[in-house]
Amino acid sequence: MKKQHLTLTETDHRYLTELLSKGQLPARVARRINGLILLNQGFTLNTVSEQLGVTYQTVGEWRNKYKETGLKFLEDKQRPGRPLGFSGDVRAKITALACSETPVGYDKWSLRMLADKAVELEFCDKISYSKVRDILKKTNSNHI
């Protein structure tokens, strides 16, 4: 007789099946759901790990987290790392500024002038010229 590693409630099983059928899930979440469903069907941790391409320990953690917190564990936690410093709106304004007319007496914009003007126009509180360069570099802008 197979060892039953996990038994889903009928409500949870139905909910997980519906989520999978919609097809709008991040791959990580879909993999976790598939793991839970396979465990519920009586597959072993090793079998599930081989089918999903994850480690045995990962499948065991999914099982344990489901038992502790239910379906809440499917949601990704906040990941570490520095948040983006400037929104897409600010980036677009800086790019548009670089494409605009230069100040009187100047042939073209410098990175420092763009940074100063962006702060003056209150696009942001502060910005370095190197960050302006990074923003324009990502847009393939050749206005500088």
Collect all residues with Cβ–Cβ distance below 8 Å to 98 and sequence separation of at least 6.
Answer: 109, 114, 132, 136, 141, 143, 144
Could you give the number of structural domains in the chain?
2
> Do 14 and 55 sit in the same domain of this protein?
yes
What CATH number did the domain enclosing 16 receive? Answer: 1.10.10
> Looking at the domain assignment, is residue 64 inside a domain?
yes
Domain's final residue, options 28, 47, 74: 74
| DSSP conformational letter for 123 | S
- 70/24 same-domain check: yes
Per-residue pLDDT tens over the stretch 21-44:
887 888 889 999 999 999 999 999
* Residue 82 belongs to some domain of the structure: no
Cα–Cα dist 76/67, whole Å: 17
- Do residues 30 and 58 share a domain? yes
Residue range of the domain that includes 122: 88-138
CA distance 85 to 89: 12
Segment 66-76, tens digit of pLDDT: 999 888 888 87
Q: pLDDT by residue (tens digit) across 128-140?
A: 888 888 888 877 6
